[in-house]
Amino acid sequence: MPIATHEQYQEMLNKAKAGQYAFPAINVTSLETLSAAMAAFAEAEADGIIQVSTGGGKHASGPVGDMALGAEVLAEAAHKLAERYKVLFALHTDHCHPKNLKPFLDPLLIASKKRREAGLGPLFQSHMFDGSELSLGENLKVSEEYLARCAELDIILEIETGVVGGEEDGHDTSGVSKEKLYTTPEDMVEAYERLEGKGGWMLAATFGNVHGVYKPGNVKLTPTILRDGQAAVKAKHSTGDNPLLLVFHGGSGSSLAEIHETLGYGVVKMNVDTDCQYAFSRPIADHMFKNYDGVLKIDGEVGDKKVYDPRSYMKLAIGSMKDRVIQSVHDLKSDGKSLTK
């Protein structure tokens, strides 16, 4: 299938909210990780979201070191590969902080505009502006500007209020005060009032989320913050239940019960990165330990081409990451729910 159209993507998100399930949004950095994610969604008969961060884009561009170029390369590859699968994919960019708007998000919007002028769909179907380091007023001001630009191109914008703790792609928020890890109902109401009706948008409202690797129980989530924020918007603006499309960041170490609770509060997208990184790397390490004398040319020997050929261990890595993505699909209850069925 081609990459999801704007209308299909909106339908995916709205059906997820109504059906209380969510889409894993899988970060990719290479053709291998992209292939693992796409194959997983197809096997699970689930539509899915594939995303590229600024760091992921920079990595994908190799020594060129251009985050926007790398993201564009991965997105174009996804557009081509998607035609061979029977589920829908939406492409998304993750955590663009204010300093990266010009070098990352702006060139990608220009690329989408060129595609639209050529009669094609946008390069990415959604982008994230992470203005959480700004005051709420400044955050929403910039969000409004980019929502208008995205809406012209049929692109959905994701924003964040509150701060996701920890470190990701070199952006370290581990020193922020604890209260900033929790979005308030007032924040969610203000975001709704500033953005609703101006284009498609999602809100990453924080409730104690932390990026990184943590054992179960070490991340102190308060999912009821999402419930209370949705209720506040409903009460003030007479909307239906769960008026906001919410996004769950920093889910590593969260219990399945906490994850499922958020689905009832309007979470339709959950970022999955750290767990997939480990799933990808683990079989490579295993391969190297088991085949060290073939991977290395020891004591003047020639090694074993079959085991130092990168294809031998990349195939294992792809399979392992694919399995982990399928687990996320099951955990978020989106398996078997592709719009193409």
d(CA 212, CA 191): 27
DSSP 101: I
Q: What are phi and psi of 128, to 5 degrees?
A: -115, 125
- Calculate ∠ Cα 9-10-12, nearest 5°: 65
The position carrying tokens 């170490």 is 253
Q: Name the residue among 5, 330, 322, 46 with its Cα closest to residue 156.
A: 5
- Please state, in angstroms and as integers, the Cα–Cα distance from residue 62 to each residue in 72, 116, 266, 307, 331, following that order: 13, 28, 38, 24, 34
Which of 47, 94, 154, 331 is catalytic? The answer is 94
d(CA 272, CA 242): 23
Please indicate whether residue 187 is annotated as part of the active site. Answer: no
Cβ atoms 271, 247 nearer than 8 A: yes
Active-site residue list: 94
